[in-house]
Every structure is written in structure tokens, then in C-alpha cells.
């Protein structure tokens, strides 16, 4: 085929593409939204040339946003108040903060509980002063451990306990089920007797029969 030159053909196609590309870049398009409230002009390179906002539409949008904000603020106040009211019965020390930017109610809680000394001791019934003595619960725990030791070290079918009347009252009251389970576990009879009221509440005696 005479007269056909592929290089000239490609050069011509390239020139036509460049012309078309230039026309596209110089082309300006305009679009609007919201019934003409916002108008945007862009060129063929997708660069924004101008943005026009209708002032009246902007005022209406701002008023609507302000109204929504007021409603949200009222609802937030109501929610915080509801949380504070619900937490009145909470034993932990709780401080309800404002609603965060994420829409979450923030609060801090500080658990209020007795210290270890208060749990393990009571005020001395003799002097009623600043001195303390072991509570019935603490002495009972020591007795349970001592009974286990006695069971392993001595032969017998019965362990007789003599302790302060308050401790005996606890063992026969709140700790009755625990004492029964201990006797069943060790396969031994446990007899509890009260000592004199003037005896030290922390002292007790165990006898294996």
C-alpha cells in the first residue's frame, strides 16, 4: 500500500487528542442544588471556579440548625438529670458529667467500701475506746482452720470447742451451715460450748475426744 505512513497517522491522532483535551479543560460546567440555593462552577480539570450560596437559604439553614441544637441541648439536660436521679440509690460515689462530643454520658464512680480493719475488727466491748479486737467472723475463721489442723493431727470422733459467747452465737447463727459442712467434710462431730462472758473474745479451746 503506497502512501501509507503509520507515524504520520499517529502524529495526527495525537494532535487531535491534544486539541480535544484543551477544549475539555476550557469547558466550564455549572450545577446547582436545593432549587438554586447552592451553585457551583467547575472547569474540565475538575477545579472549582466558584461557589455561590443564596443568603436567604443560608439563613433558613442556620435557623434550622440552631433549633436542632436547642432541642438536642434540652434532651441532653433531661438525660443527665435522669441519670443523676437513677444513681441516687447507688452506693458508689458517682459524678455524672456532661454529654461528650460522641453523644455519650460520661460519669466517674468511686466505690465506697469498708477498709480491711473495719471488716476484720470491732470496737473493744470492754474499753469502748480506740482499741479494737477481732470480730466474730475473724475468730470463727481461725477456729475453722484450727479444727482442720486438729483433725489431721489427732485421732478421735468428736471435737469440743469452747469459745466466747459472742463467737458461739455467731457459729450457731450465721455460720451454722458452714460449721455443719465442715463437720461433714472432716467426718467428725463438732460440739460448741460457750465460755465465761468475761473471757477474752479472741481466745478459744479445742479438745479432741
CATH of the domain at 123: 3.40.1260.20
Q: How many domains does the chain have?
A: 2
The DSSP output letter for 175 is: T
1: confidence class by pLDDT, cuts 50, 70, 90: very low
What is the mean predicted confidence (pLDDT) over 39-56? 75
Choose the final residue of a domain: 90, 110, 130.
Answer: 110
Taking residue 204's Cβ as centre, other Cβ atoms within 10 Å add up to: 20
Structural domain includes residue 49: no
Are 89 and 161 within one domain?
A: no
Are 201 and 124 within one domain?
A: yes
Are 77 and 155 within one domain?
A: no
Choose the final residue of a domain: 110, 142, 175.
Answer: 110
Name the more confident of 200 and 119.
200
| Residue 159 burial class via C-beta count within 10 angstroms: exposed 0-12, middle 13-18, buried 19 and up | buried
pLDDT tens-digit map of 162-172: 999 999 999 99
Asked if residue 79 lies in contact with residue 105, where contact means CB atoms within 8 angstroms, the answer is yes
pLDDT tens-digit map of 96-112: 566 555 556 566 656 55
Structural domain includes residue 149: yes
Structural domain includes residue 45: no
What is the mean predicted confidence (pLDDT) over 187-192? 91
Structural domain includes residue 6: no
Mean pLDDT score across all residues of the chain: 76
Strands 121-123 and 158-163 turn out to be unpaired
Are 166 and 129 within one domain?
A: yes
Asked if residue 107 lies in contact with residue 96, where contact means CB atoms within 8 angstroms, the answer is yes
Are 122 and 92 within one domain?
A: no
The residue segments making up the domain with residue 145 are 117-208
Are 88 and 129 within one domain?
A: no
Place of cell 450545577: 31
Are 94 and 68 within one domain?
A: yes
Are 191 and 138 within one domain?
A: yes
Amino acid at each position: 500500500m503506497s502512501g501509507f505512513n503509520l507515524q504520520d497517522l499517529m502524529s495526527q491522532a495525537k494532535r487531535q487528542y491534544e486539541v480535544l483535551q484543551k477544549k475539555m479543560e476550557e469547558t466550564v460546567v455549572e450545577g446547582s442544588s436545593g432549587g438554586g440555593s447552592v451553585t457551583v462552577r467547575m472547569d474540565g480539570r475538575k477545579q472549582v471556579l466558584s461557589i455561590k450560596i443564596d443568603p436567604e437559604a443560608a439563613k433558613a439553614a442556620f435557623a434550622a440548625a440552631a433549633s436542632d441544637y436547642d432541642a438536642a441541648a434540652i434532651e441532653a439536660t433531661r438525660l443527665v438529670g435522669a441519670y443523676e436521679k437513677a444513681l441516687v440509690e447507688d452506693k458508689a460515689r458517682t459524678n455524672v458529667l456532661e454529654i461528650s462530643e460522641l453523644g455519650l454520658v460520661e460519669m466517674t464512680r468511686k466505690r465506697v467500701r469498708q477498709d480491711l480493719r473495719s471488716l476484720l475488727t470491732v470496737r473493744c466491748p470492754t474499753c469502748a475506746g480506740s482499741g479494737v479486737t477481732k470480730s466474730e467472723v475473724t475468730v470463727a475463721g481461725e477456729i475453722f482452720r484450727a479444727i482442720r489442723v486438729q483433725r489431721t493431727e489427732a485421732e478421735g470422733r468428736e471435737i469440743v470447742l469452747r469459745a466466747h459467747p459472742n463467737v458461739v452465737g455467731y457459729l450457731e447463727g450465721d455460720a451454722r451451715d458452714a460449721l455443719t459442712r465442715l463437720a461433714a467434710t472432716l467426718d467428725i462431730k463438732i460440739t460448741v460450748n460457750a465460755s465465761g462472758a468475761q473471757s477474752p473474745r479472741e481466745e478459744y479451746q479445742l479438745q479432741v475426744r
